[in-house]
Structures are given as C-alpha cells and as structure tokens.
Amino acid sequence: MEASPADRATTGHAEPSDWIHHGTPAFRRTNLALFAAGLATFGLLYCVQPLMPEFSRDYGVSEAGAAMSLSLTTGVLAFAMLFAGGLSDAWGRKPVMVASLVSSAVLVLTSAAMPDWGSLLVVRTLLGLTLSGLPAVAMTYLSEEMHAESIGLGMGLYISGSAVGGMGGRLVTGVLTDFFDWRVGVAVVGVIGLACALAFWRALPPSRHFTRQPLSTRALAARFSGMFHDRGLPWLFVEGFLLLGAFVTVYNYLGYRLLAPPYNLSQAVVGLIFGIYLIGSFSSAWMGHLAGKLGRRKVLWTALALMLAGVLLTLAASLWLIMLGIVAVTFGFFGGHSIVSSWVGRRAGAAKAQASSMYLFCYYMGSSVAGASGGLFYAAHGWNGVAAFVGALVLAGLAIALGLVRLKPLVNVATPPTPMSKGAMP
C-alpha cells in the first residue's frame, strides 16, 4: 500500500534516511523489482521483432507491414502513457505498475493463439495500452524515491533490466522459432512475464514520498503545459524520439539483411545476435553513473557520437564489422537513454509523472514512426537506405546533445535535501 502524507513529516521535507540510497537493502530490493519489471516489459514488447521475416512469409505482408506488429504497439503505448502518470497520481505507483505487468503478460500469451494477421495486430495494439502503466510510472517512482546521488545508478540499473528483457524476448522467440514455431516462443515470453510480475509485486518497497492527487483534467493540463516553460525539457523529449527511433529501426531490418544473401544466416543465429543487448545492460548503468559524477551535459553527446560511428560501420560488407557497428549503436543508445531519462526526472520538479509520460510518449513515437518508416527506405534502397535514414536521426540527436551542453543546470528542484556531489548537477 502507498504511504499516505500522514506517514511522513509534516514539514514537507523527508529525513535523508527516508530516501533510497545505493548500498542499502531498500536499494537492492528496488532494483531487483525494477530489473524484473524492465525485463518483463521489454521482453513482452519486443519479442516480435526477430519474427518480422516470419510474418512476411506466413502472412504475405511487406517489410513495413510486418513492422506494424511492433509499431502499432509502441504507437498506442506512446499515447496511453500520457495518461498513465495521471492515473498513478490518483491510484498509486505500485498498484498501476503491477496491474500493467500482469495484464500485458496475459495478452502476450493470448497473441500466441491468434489465427490470422488481423487478430494478431488487434492483440498487439491492446498490449500497447496495458504496457503503458509501467515505463512512465517506474521513472516517476525512481525520481520520487531515490536519493539524488543514487538516481543515475538506479535508473541505469532499471534500464539494464530493460536491456536484458529486450534481448531475452528477442532471443527466446528467435531461437525457438527455428526449433519449434514462433507461437511457442511468444508463449514462453508470456510465461516469463507473469513470473517477473510476481517478483516485482513481492520485492518493490511501497512509496514513501508519494502524495495522492485526485484525477483532475484541469490540473493535469496545467502540469503538462508547465513543463514547456523549462528550456531543457522539450529538447530532452525530442532526444528520446530520435534515440529510440534510430535504435529500433536498426534492429527492425537487421534480420532481413542477415537472412538474405550473401550472409544467409538462420533465424536462430539472427536471434542470438540480440545477445548484443547485454552490452546495453552494462552501458546504461555505467554511463548513468558517469553522468551523475561528471554531469549529464558533458556525457550525453558522447553516446550519440558512438551511435553515429556504429551506423557507419554497418555499411561495411564484413559481417564482423557489421556486428561491431551494432555493438556501438547498442552501447551508445542505452547509455544515452539512461542519461536523458534520469535528466528528465531531475528537471521536472513537481510534474515528474507528467514529464516522464511526455518523454516516453516521444520516445515510443520514435519507435513507432521511425520503425515503420525505415521499411520504406529498406524496400527502396536496401540497407544503405536504412543506414542513411538512421544516420540522419542520430546526427539530429547529436546536434541537440551538443546544444544541451550550454543548458544551465537547475538549482531548485524537488529532490532530497542532501546536496549532490560536485559535478552532478542536472
């Protein structure tokens, strides 16, 4: 149950011990829970990505058509997350996240039994609605409960779980498709999602800094509009769109390239390539922690520059250079997302739930819009077209990151009273 305002000091300031700090049992429990949540959420969301060539063969749909199995989910997810934060303000952070995980796992299990392409897309669309209750609210929970010195590491570890989940969902379906059927792989991912939901429910500590707010469209609109008075937040939202748009586009069409001549890899081998996601598990925590020590403005642009170098490497004919490029894109993406997502929470003040929702709206719209659009470039120009499209997205993101270097840090945000370490200003 969420803590009520009466459970906390009436002064409006919590004692330093009330905040979750790294090295404590509460920090370990929180990160275990959110690691499981990230693993489930992104496994359930992205398990169809390596199956797109299978969908093209089984249902006779084009590359861009097959990508709708992911783009519809992320598109609905983006819009639904605009309201998920408001619901969690009224109902509590943990209840909304638990309901989201359980219902999403059930829908993925259902999708494995769908008889035709249309019904599969309907279930995948509903999945976007149910998944919306986890990502935005998880960011808000961390921003409210974590100590200022620990939020970068905490967000990085949560995103590490997302990386493992994204890898695991793709890996399970990719490998099991070769040995059994894609439906078996999707069903297994659904069962794993249910197990993770149980672990999350048991491990996550109740909120200690949450204040319940009644649903009010006027107040919600005011909090949303107030975010755009900040000079940095709108650019961070755009950065989220570009980051995930570029990353998802690369992985959406990588399978098509590697299954075709001259590589002719099997579906199982292509699925194993998603093991590269483990690098993202490391980079999100490492770069998030580094940004907390050196400052987000000084570190973000390096993640985008690494992604750009990786995109250029994928243009090579050598399979090893292509894989090295995918490693660089993955490392840079997860590091960049860790930095930007924690930065949003730090700059948002009292509107953390709405800022998280808006950031993730833009983030997943990048996946939906760019992920589907990349199919048009692949159909017209092959991988060179995809690389040019992704390169343009990353270049725009790099330009924004370099502009944010000049952004003045906030000195009065809704954070724990304990001072941050030198150089850790948002």
* Least confident window among 208-217, 265-274, 288-297, 406-415: 406-415
Q: Which two tokens stand for residue 417?
A: 């009273």
On whether residue 417 sits in a domain, the answer given is no
Question: What band does 4 get if pLDDT is binned at 50, 70 and 90?
Answer: very low
Count how many domains the chain has.
Answer: 1
On whether residue 6 sits in a domain, the answer given is no
Averaged pLDDT score across all residues of the chain: 80
Residues 6+ apart with CB under 8 A from 201: 98
* Least confident window among 1-10, 54-63, 99-108: 1-10
pLDDT tens string 392-419: 999 999 999 998 877 766 544 433 333 2
Greater model confidence, 220 or 177: 177
| pLDDT higher than threshold 60 for residue 162 | yes
Whose CA is closest to 317, among 377, 380, 258, 389?
258
Whose CA is closest to 178, among 261, 54, 67?
54
On whether residue 411 sits in a domain, the answer given is no
Read off φ and ψ for residue 204, nearest 5 degrees. -70, 125
Whose CA is closest to 153, among 338, 7, 303, 6?
338
Q: Which residue matches tokens 């404590």?
A: 24
Task: Please tell me the predicted confidence (pLDDT) of residue 209.
Answer: 62
CA distance 293 to 24: 20
Task: Please tell me the predicted confidence (pLDDT) of residue 125.
Answer: 94
Global pTM reads: 0.68
On whether residue 412 sits in a domain, the answer given is no
On whether residue 421 sits in a domain, the answer given is no
On whether residue 112 sits in a domain, the answer given is yes
**Percentage of the residues of the chain whose pLDDT score is greater than 90:** 28
On whether residue 11 sits in a domain, the answer given is no
CA distance 39 to 36: 5
Cβ atoms of 222 and 345 within 8 Å: the answer is no
On whether residue 17 sits in a domain, the answer given is no
Task: Provide the residue range defining the domain that includes 87.
Answer: 23-213+221-404
Tell me which amino acid residue 203 is: A
CATH number at residue 228: 1.20.1250.20
Cβ atoms of 354 and 220 within 8 Å: the answer is yes
